[in-house]
Chain A
Amino acid sequence: MDLKELGANLGLEASEFIELVELFLSTAKKDLQKLREAYQSGDSKTVAGSAHSLKGSSGNLGFSELSVLSRKAEDKGGEEDLSGFEEILDAIHQQIEKIESCLMEST
């Protein structure tokens, strides 16, 4: 994952994009936290809502893998079928960590 390239795709300078990624990470971690809690309490509606938020922000910044995963999570919440959701949560968590480490490298 090349943050500089992702930023350039959006017509942004590296510094501008990094600022956005920082903001993204703080909201994404909150979304993941909410997602996990909602899953544990079996609250499909909140699962769908938090996943929708994560899908939007990751999609806009070009984090396509994370966006696809969030969409899966949103669909599961919408269908009220949380089977195998643990795996999706782990994958989302990994993606967020990956973005975070990329950010560390580029700053």
Chain B
Amino acid sequence: MMTAGQPFQILIVDDNPLNLKLLETTLAKDGYHVLSATNGPAAREIALVEKPHLILLDIKMPEEDGFQVIQKLKENPATTTIPVIFLTGVSDIGTKLHGFELGAVDYITKPFHPREVLARVRLHLKLSIATNSLIAGQAQKLKQITEAQTSMLVTPDMVPRARFGVYYSALQEAGGDFYEVTPISDEIFGYFVADFSGHDIQTSYLTASVKALLKQNSAPVYEAHESMQMINDVLVEILPEGKYLTACYARLNQKTKQMTIVNAGHPPVIFVPLEGKPVRVDMQGDILGIFKEVYFGSHTMDVNSGDRFYLYSDGLIESSRDKTLWTSGSNKLLAACEDAGSVSIQEAPRHIVQLLSDKDVPIEDDVVVLGVEV
């Protein structure tokens, strides 16, 4: 990256010593630091070591010609972003097109006028600076989003009375999966796990919106499915076309020992009673954010102290390699959830992920597992 006061370095490559000298003189007069090479291999070596800000390259050279030089520069990750302007005869349209195909940013026809060279060099340096700052800006923005998203994720020690444990791993810098734990009253807690369709910057902005919606709409006066309904209504308005999310919302009343589960097109919650075998809480439900008229499956059950629930995203059991879907993968999941009974609820989600992950297959999707203990 350029800093103020540091001269731009331009590499000139031409086998004609006069052209080299003319370009050198012209560019040096304008404050550029000039490097020069009279053949392709030397040019590539200098490009690699010095990382010039721009390269002026003659096409017609003996042995390794300019085309070969561009190609090799573009193939090398260390030099691929350096803009290349090539020098060519005025009438040679084939050369010009081929140069562009190989990744050059511009050409200068020979005989060239030094002022034209200066103008083009300036233009492409400006474009290069703008592109670099754009990329840096976007990366910075994404970093902020990731930081913001992680900082927004609630951890068990922040809400100890909610008695939950969580495993969260975002595959990309701004994950499409997320979860939330919301205290509704002293004894009532909401647990939410969702998966956005697609992973991109927009998703992360929307994550923040959904979290805000959860907070606003999960007052005790609303039934769990009513909360989902209201969130859906807002999402239909704000989500970009074609974007939706699947979600699972569980509301636990520690006082009355009742758990209500609402499903919006999401894999089923696993219920692990303290005594007995784990079961899937299957129910139908529309996805969130597409339809105004929706139906969400809702189920309320009596629970006992020590019973556990697991909410999770499909990344946990869906592998694109062996096309395992949650229907067939869920038997393994049930077994893993049962096995996790041997560890604390804080440890259980990680334990389940470890049991289910194949050492040889990297995890291919975002994964979130949220465990709740009554």
Interface set of A (CB-CB < 8 Å, partner B)? 10-12, 16, 19-20, 23-24, 27, 53, 56-57, 59-61, 67
Contact = CB atoms under 8 A, between A and B. Distances in A.
A56 B115 contact: no
Given A27-B16, A60-B18, 20 more contacts: A10-B22, A10-B26, A10-B114, A11-B115, A16-B25, A19-B21, A20-B21, A20-B22, A23-B17, A23-B18, A24-B18, A27-B18, A56-B16, A56-B110, A56-B111, A57-B18, A60-B22, A60-B110, A60-B111, A61-B18
Interface string B4-37: 0000000000001111011001100100000000
> Top 8 closest A-B pairs, CB basis?
A59-B111, A57-B18, A60-B111, A10-B114, A24-B18, A16-B25, A23-B21, A11-B115
B222 interface: no
5 contacts: A10-B26, A20-B21, A20-B22, A56-B19, A60-B112
B126 interface: no
A23 B24 CA distance: 13
Contacts of B18: 20, 23-24, 27, 57, 60-61
Interface residues of B, number: 16
Interface string B186-217: 00000000000000000000000000000000
A24 B18 CA distance: 6
A12 B114 contact: yes
A57 B22 CA distance: 10
B110 A59 contact: yes
B143 interface: no
Contacts of B277: none
Interface of B: 16-19, 21-22, 25-26, 29, 110-115, 118
A12 B17 contact: no
A10 B110 contact: no
Contact of A12 (B19, B25, B112): B25
Nearest to A55: B111
Contacts of A61: 18, 22
Contacts of B111: 56, 59-60, 67
Nearest to A52: B60
Contacts of B21: 19-20, 23
A14 B115 CA distance: 16
Nearest to B23: A60
Contacts of B22: 10, 20, 60-61
B16 A20 contact: no
Contacts of B29: 11-12, 16
A60 B25 contact: no
A56 B58 CA distance: 12
Contacts of A16: 25, 29
Contacts of A27: 16-18
A2 B25 CA distance: 20
Given A16-B25, A20-B21, A60-B22, A53 B110 contact: no
A11 B16 contact: no
Contacts of A67: 111
A12 B26 contact: yes
B110 A11 contact: no
A32 to B, nearest CB: 14
B119 to A, nearest CB: 11
Nearest to B58: A56
Contacts of A60: 18-19, 22, 110-112
Contacts of A24: 18
Contacts of B115: 10-11
B118 to A, nearest CB: 8
Contact of B26 (A11, A23, A56, A59): A11
A67 B111 CA distance: 10
Contacts of B17: 23, 27
B58 to A, nearest CB: 10
A53 B111 CA distance: 11
Contacts of B113: 10
Contacts of A11: 26, 29, 114-115, 118
A11 B26 CA distance: 8
B111 to A, nearest CB: 3
B65 to A, nearest CB: 14
Nearest to A16: B25
